[in-house]
Structure 1
Amino acid sequence: MLKKLNAIRYTYIHSHLYALVLTTITLLAIFLTIHLIFVPDWLTQGNIFLFTASYFFIGLLYAMYVGFRSSSELKAKIDDLSVMIMQLSRGNYRSRIAHTGEGEMDRIGTELNDLALKMEQQLRSLQRLADEKAAFAKTAHKAATIEERQRLARDLHDSVSQQLFALTMMSQAVIRTMDKNPTKAKTQMIEIAETASKAQTEMRALLLHLRPVHLSGESLAAGIRQLVEELQSKCTIDFQLSIDEITGLAEGTEEHLFRIIQESLSNTLRHAMATKVKIYIRQDDREVFLHLADNGKGFDLTANGQKKTSYGLKTMRERSEEIGGIFTIRTKEGEGTYIDIRIPCRRKDEEE
């Protein structure tokens, strides 16, 4: 209720009522002064209070009506400005304020339209740079391949190699204790099975990165489905797909989105311990919306023990920003991880 009373419309009515009260008091004082000094027959105390009361009540109706009507135009302009700012914050840079006049509010609307135009031009430049970067990446494919192999070699050494070494040591220990202590040997075999399962999961995540950087002529939806089909044949995760056929996106933007999904699935395989993964992609006239979710163990974004996961998230965020997107992540220990990405679309006539 207090918020309503502080609104523009009620502020206008308050100002009109305040002016009415001051005017009424002034008239009352003038009439009483004339009555005391000149004592005219027609200006009695009853007439003074009757006229003043009539003036106040009639003025009260006019003040409320005029205050309400005069504030309507200003309120509509402020609402337009508020909607415009909200649209800009959501990445919709095509919004414009339709206005006429040369007042202060119209000037603010003109400046917001200019700001939206500049932001839209910057977005186009950013996406063109992403396209140029994708073209340059193709020419530097050999160097990127060598770098990727070196990174995979480091990951193999840090994770799978150590796990295989541990498997070897534990297997030798089981052989020595098999006859002497079968119970202990059984416990060690369970540990071997768990270590082998972790090594297998780690290897699947590393093999996921061996997929080509480019979609090789496939559409984004087809590339994602093929990627998920390969993973379903190798692991027990339940994948739920809801993917539109994406049209009108530049090749570089599609490749960035594909790599973001690759990185997200790699993080899920290596760290999340999830049993369900959802990939949801929708496209409208303004944007492409990508939603990635899993029911894994989640993690604390502020913790220090998530270096590998943080590196993957940093890569996904950087790729989103390179194509003008907005990257949002929600996660909590024991409650899974949810990633939302919004990528503005460029219409064909704008690209031309």
Structure 2
Amino acid sequence: MRHLAALHAQLRGGAPAEEVLRAVCDRAGRALPAAAVLIFDASGRLRGGTGDGWPGLDEIVAGAVRTGRPVLRGPVSAVPLPGQAGIAGPPGVIAAVGRRRPVPPRRLEAFAGVAAVVLGTGEHQATRERERLARELHDSVVQTLYGISLGAGTAAELMHGDPANARASLAWIQETASAGLSDLRGIIVRLRPETLVGAGLATALRRIVDALHLAPGTGAVPPGWGLQLEAEPAVSPQVEEALYRIALEALGNAARHAGASQVTVRLAGDDTRVVLEVVDDGVGFQPGGPDGGPAGGPGRVGRLGLRSMRERAELVGGTLDVMSAPGAGTVVRAILPSSAAVLVG
């Protein structure tokens, strides 16, 4: 949808909030069509609009904020903006006055997603990201450093009396440090999502490959890693970030655990949905095993990774499937709507 694509370009370009909100109303009015489109924040303050209002509009907007559900009254449709988990109520409402009949709420949702980003839902998402990164730091990097510390102490004790085992301990330290570096590099990328905002999804996916999956000792991307892109889909900012984060998690799992020689990222979409696949030819695992890992073995995807990917897909109204078997590689497939229809916890 060209109107959404133009709005996303404004967001990426850092246009002022009020300018983007006016553009949302203008383009929604032309696309739907509607005689008037207006955006209100959660306090009922008008933040942007085109056309004239309608008698009783304030009451209609207040009802949509209070219930968190669309309200239709006469020619007016009022749709709550998508919120974030842990937030009491939506951050605002987008209302449209139909020319002859009410605008179907479903058609307002894509524009509601853009308005929600401008009105600050990104701040709440950032809080969730910080909490998740804290858990990842504890469960990966901190534990890795603790293991290295223990291994170094063991090697020091064995250095004079048992040099063979000391060398084995040093080799383990080197291997563990390399794995920890990969984990840390992934976390650093998560802390820099501006690469997504500034360059678009396709470029951001290529940067994930460049940043996370360097061939050891060569500084080059392994030739078996690739990106298949039909066309960069026009998706809402929430969906775009969800795709980026899911791909980042799936590629991190493939790099750290799969032992894969071929990894492919596929991205395709249309006006209604987008499909992301991350496919590897690695060791595979049993999805029904403990914590999402191989049955009887250490978790390859793990609680946090698999759960977070599914949560991200569900938060924007999509689904995520993981298909794998021991020795048969892994396919992670996310199917998301082009716009975030729901963002609830």
TM-score (structure 2 length as normaliser): 0.54
% identical equivalent positions:
22
1:159 aligns with 2:143: yes
Structure number, greater radius of gyration: 1
Deviations 1:211-242 (A, max 9, x none): 22452322100111112112243647531211
What residue is the counterpart of 2:264 in the other structure? Answer: 278
Aligned partner letter, 1:345: S
Partner in structure 2 of residue 341 of structure 1: 334
Which one is further off, 289-298 or 202-211? Answer: 202-211
Name the structure with the higher helix share. 1
Q: 1:343 to 1:163 in 2, by over 3 A?
A: same
Number of residues of Structure 1 aligned to a counterpart in Structure 2: 221
- Give the secondary structure class of the aligned counterpart of 1:280: strand
Is the aligned partner of 1:208 residue 2:189?
no
TM-score, normalization: structure 1? 0.53
CA deviations over 1:30-71 (Å, ceiling 9, x no partner):
xxxxxxxxxxxxxxxxxxxxxxxxxxxxxxxxxxxxxxxxxx
Aligned to 1:197, which of 175, 188, 205?
A: 175
- Alignment counterpart, residue 324 of structure 2, candidates 313, 325, 331: 331
What pairs with 1:171-250 in structure 2 (closer than 5 Å)? Answer: 171-177=155-161, 185-186=163-164, 188-211=166-189, 212-214=192-194, 215-233=196-214, 235=216, 237=222, 238-250=224-236
Segments of structure 1 that go 5 or more residues without pairing to the other structure are 1-119, 347-352
| Contact 2:286/2:325 (<8 A) preserved | yes
Separation (CA, whole Å) in 2 of partners of 1:210 and 1:201: 14
Is 1:266 the counterpart of 2:252 in the alignment? yes
Conserved 8 A contact 1:131-1:250: no
Secondary structure, in 3 states, of the residue corresponding to 2:288? Answer: coil
- Aligned-residue offset at 1:172: 0.9
In structure 1, what is the Cα distance between the partners aligned to 2:125 and 2:272? 32
Matching residue's letter, 2:179: T
Compared CA separation, residues 139 and 145, structure 1 to 2 (3 A): same
Q: What corresponds to 1:169 in structure 2? A: 153
SS of the counterpart of 2:188?
coil
User: Deviation of residue 269 (structure 1)?
Assistant: 3.1
Q: State the alpha-carbon separation in 2 of the partners of residues 188 and 123 from structure 1.
A: 66
Q: CA shift at 1:256, angstroms?
A: 0.9
Give CA deviations for 1:101-144 in whole Å, capped at 9, x if unaligned.
xxxxxxxxxxxxxxxxxxx9669749946973796453347745
- Give how far 1:156 is off: 4.6
- Quick one: distance in 1 between partners of 2:248 and 2:322? 16
The 5-angstrom pairing of residues 1-352 of structure 1 reads: 125=109, 128=112, 132=116, 136-140=120-124, 143-144=127-128, 146-148=130-132, 150-156=134-140, 158-177=142-161, 185-186=163-164, 188-211=166-189, 212-214=192-194, 215-233=196-214, 235=216, 237=222, 238-305=224-291, 306=293, 309-345=302-338
Deviation at 1:152, TM superposition (A): 4.2
Task: List gaps (5 residues or longer) in structure 2.
Answer: 1-103, 294-298, 340-345
Separation of aligned partners in 2, 1:223 and 1:331: 26
Q: Distance in 1 between matches of 2:111 and 2:138?
A: 33
- Matched residue of 1:249: which SS? coil
Structure 2: distance between partners of 1:147 and 1:196: 29
Deviations 1:158-177 (A, max 9, x none): 53123212330242144223
Please tell me the residue identity of whatever aligns with 2:170.
I
**Greater strand proportion:** 2
RMSD: 3.3
Runs of 4+ aligned residues of structure 1 deviating over 6 Å after TM superposition are: none
SS at match of 1:274: coil
What amino acid is aligned across from residue 144 of structure 2 in structure 1?
A: V
Report the Cα distance in structure 2 between the residues aligned to 1:202 and 1:329, rounded to whole angstroms.
25
